[in-house]
Amino acid sequence: MSTTALASPTDIEDFGRELDELRDEIIGTLGDRDAQYIRGVIATQRKLELAGRALLFASWLPPAWIAGTAALATAKILENMEIGHNVLHGQWDWMRDPKIHSTTWESDLASPSAQWKHSHNVVHHTWTNVLGKDRDIGYTLLRVSPEQPWHRVYLLQPVYNVFLALVFEYGIALYDLEVERIPAGDKSLKETWTQLRAIAGKVRRQIIKDYLAFPMLAGPGFMPVLLGNLTANLTRNVWAHTIIFCGHFPEGAEVFTEDQLEGETRGEWYVRQLLGSCNIDGGRLLHLMSGNLSHQIEHHLFPDMPSNRYAEIAPRVRDLCERFGLPYTSGSLARQTGSVYKRILRLAFPGPRHHRTAPAEPPATDLRALA
């Protein structure tokens, strides 16, 4: 890790306290406009899906096929990113609406919500970017940090990462199984089989819906409808892969070791979330279509805060970082995507390795090391 950001432990705790105050301020103002926002997004998503499927029934007309596929892909992205991901984080539980609650929502993805919430909400958001703890560092498939030991299989990662993007939802579902725990005896085959059956049930429903039922309803338009649904699903997968990777793996995203977490305070936890995340610059449409994960920094600081508030607090978080001398990593979608793919290509080969050294002066604390 670099040692460009130095501050005293007192500064770190002051930074954390101000973030706590910011969170309390925003949570205290949640109300009708927030509820109207998420209900409006859900209504829009459902209308887009209905329009997309209806247009695909007229897919013997090329413009109808293009428009239908685009509408369906947009609906699937909205359901996955702005709705499903954020609902399952409990961002809308305060509404006490059983239809928009983290305990009842089941996303249109291969991952069962209960399994996803454990691997993402519990493991990833607790151990953000901690080597050996956060399995989201490369998803056990990719070397995305110099701190990860190199193996020959990584030589192929620029190739199999493209395949991963195409089948991202299925890759995440299988990743959630944590099969690497089985040989060590940390997980039973019975538990794994139960989880695998739940995944198979969701995959089966998706296959029936998108690749059998709707294409069959189209009669002679079976193949165009099937291809439209397939294209929409692939588009959703590639988009989700892009946004998530751009929030976690560009240059500037830091990783940590378990020993750095010993005695971690609230302020240090905030710093770790900040340094392990990257934002994507853009307008309202990009933020909406990314599930507001374009504000990945704000999301990791406040994962249960309604996503529509991230754009509101982002300038204040950035100002706090400037005041306390902390980096706030952000860039355009093109820049962050290029950075991710450059990193994946470079780290497919051996080295480089970072070597950490302790600060020479005890009073000055390396924020990146503390995190």
Question: Is 135 in contact with 119 (CB distance < 8 Å)?
Answer: yes
365, pLDDT greater than 80: no
Question: Is 304 in contact with 89 (CB distance < 8 Å)?
Answer: yes
Tokens 């926002």 correspond to what residue? 37
Report the alpha-carbon distance of residue 38 to residue 306 in Å, rounded: 9
Helices 168-175, 157-166: axis angle to 10 degrees equals 100
367, pLDDT greater than 80: no
Average pLDDT value over all residues in the chain: 91
Residue 182 exposure: Cα atoms within 13 Å on the Cβ side: 11
Q: Which of 320, 155, 331, 325 is nearest to 253 (CA)?
A: 331
265, pLDDT greater than 90: yes
How many residues make up the chain in this entry? 371
CA distances from 286 to 227, 252, 355 (A): 26, 21, 37
- What tens digit of pLDDT does each residue of 120-142 get? 999 999 999 999 899 999 998 99
User: What percent helix, strand, coil does the chain show, rounded to 5?
Assistant: 65, 5, 30
The pLDDT of residue 74 is 98
Report the alpha-carbon distance of residue 313 to residue 302 in Å, rounded: 11
**Mean per-residue pLDDT, 171-200:** 89
- pTM across the whole model: 0.91
**Mean per-residue pLDDT, 14-23:** 97
**Mean per-residue pLDDT, 353-363:** 40
**Mean per-residue pLDDT, 97-107:** 95
